[in-house]
Amino acid sequence: MLSDADARRHPWRNVVTRAIAGGDDPEVEVAEIAVKKGDRLLLCSDGLSAVITPEKIEEIMSERDSLEKTCQKLIDAANAGGGPDNITVVMLQVDAD
């Protein structure tokens, strides 16, 4: 187990990117999660997660703006934090039971 700070610096922090980019037999991790109406899910690149703390991401997402506005706020926060990498943000909101 890594601390949050160690995970941000770990040489394998972008292993998902490398697995998507290719390779002979990438290992895929699958997990089921229970969701309910109103939940929001975030998929992002390390251009966001390496710059913005999980707490700040949660704070921005909890403002409950539109998905588009929330994504833009996350991108703006990453850019304000230096934006050293590409920033990709995708959000999904559960609208049905």
CB 53 within 8 A of CB 12: no
CATH at 70: 3.60.40.10
pTM for the full predicted model:
0.72
- Give the chain's domain count: 1
Q: Per residue in 38-60, pLDDT tens?
A: 999 999 998 999 999 999 999 99
List the structure tokens of 87: 């920033």
18: pLDDT strictly greater than 60: no
Q: For residues 82 and 71, what is the distance between their CA atoms, to the nearest angstrom? A: 17
**E strands, 1-97, in order:** 40-44, 89-93
Full domain range(s) for residue 44:
4-93
